[in-house]
Structure 1
């Protein structure tokens, strides 16, 4: 262009269809890579969405693939792991070569979408977070506060701070997928707002009593209101917004006490009130559920 004194035209220098055709080929075949190097391309990256039934569509959208050769003899990756509890379905996996390598998310599991961390940092600054620039020797015993892995400062009363943030999350003032992890041993408080964390819903328990009441169950079972004066039907989003159900990710789950059945709560209440547990009321077979 400089030698011929012609104006520079990018359209004549680059073929406009090259990228378009490459993407079309990859999306059509699922082979992610150059058409000429089809052997080294990654297969199955794009798939045709399964529409046999509503359940099969949901199943296809929640599928997880382990990138290990299907003909491997190692059994460990195919076996169910303790950390899958509540997050990955223990039953839904294909038969044959892909058994245990292709998994599905549990029915109620949810992958966090992520959100901005700025509102959390602003809130922490209002609630007594001490800046790192003003570091003094007596801060050594304070708890370090991390937001998405970034050290924001230290706090003198982490127990109250955690209680406040959890209360705000249950009220809906903070996004429900924010994770609050207090590590007492390491003197750390870790908050996460990032995407890609697997969370699962749990019923909230306050003072050893479920936040879920009989009226909530009745409101869930109601038909959709037809007339204006009909009582409203309760939805899942209402349970989350009202602090009846909350989402916990794998890391926060490590720091909370979770009971498996309502009977366990009853036993816990009984022990708190009397200091003893009625052993006769607990059947010998009821220890394993």
Structure 2
């Protein structure tokens, strides 16, 4: 069972902020930074970049402070007897890089909501959210290969997947990161295992599949293609079939047949 004492998102503090609990709390504390900060680690104060997580167990010395004009973090103080927390492989009192800061921030937002409202499945929801949080922390801790450009690449990939219909080109993407097109393609593939343009195409086809299902009979294939970033409907149809095995119309017929089978059964 887990019990949250307090959880906060985007807690902002001035440059003179510090947090000093020599004997620690009598419970767990998880902090995820959104700005650079200094932490007391191995008997000395060390500076760490933004997007770091640190887990403190009960009665462990806690000391961290701002090292820029503002200090912003997400944090949660809680008790737990769940093995995925009490027997975690994560280090205690040592900051480590976060794989996907935006994802973890959304989990914090949901934890704040669940903690503040007394809903029927509050305890279960909090447990599931904390399980996901600690899974993500483990993924981050055992993730090798963080580069100085990693978080910029992550933002670029999120933008591609959230807005695949934008006019993405390798030169434009490279310019947004301040790197050459060749270097972007190299580090993107190395980081995510897929090229940036393959990511664009896959995201566009995923969106097209949703639109073909949602707007069947109300929008033409050409209109859907345009909304997904294509100015040539033949090019869209060719890429759609290459990835899905169906033409756009064939994809809609397949869905119609599947829906009819469910209704008749």
Same fold (TM over 0.5): no
Higher helix proportion (structure 1 or 2)? 2
Q: TM-score, normalised by structure 1?
A: 0.22
Structure (1/2) with the larger strand percentage:
2
Which one has the largest radius of gyration? Answer: 1
Higher relative CO (Cα under 8 Å, sequence separation at least 6) belongs to 2
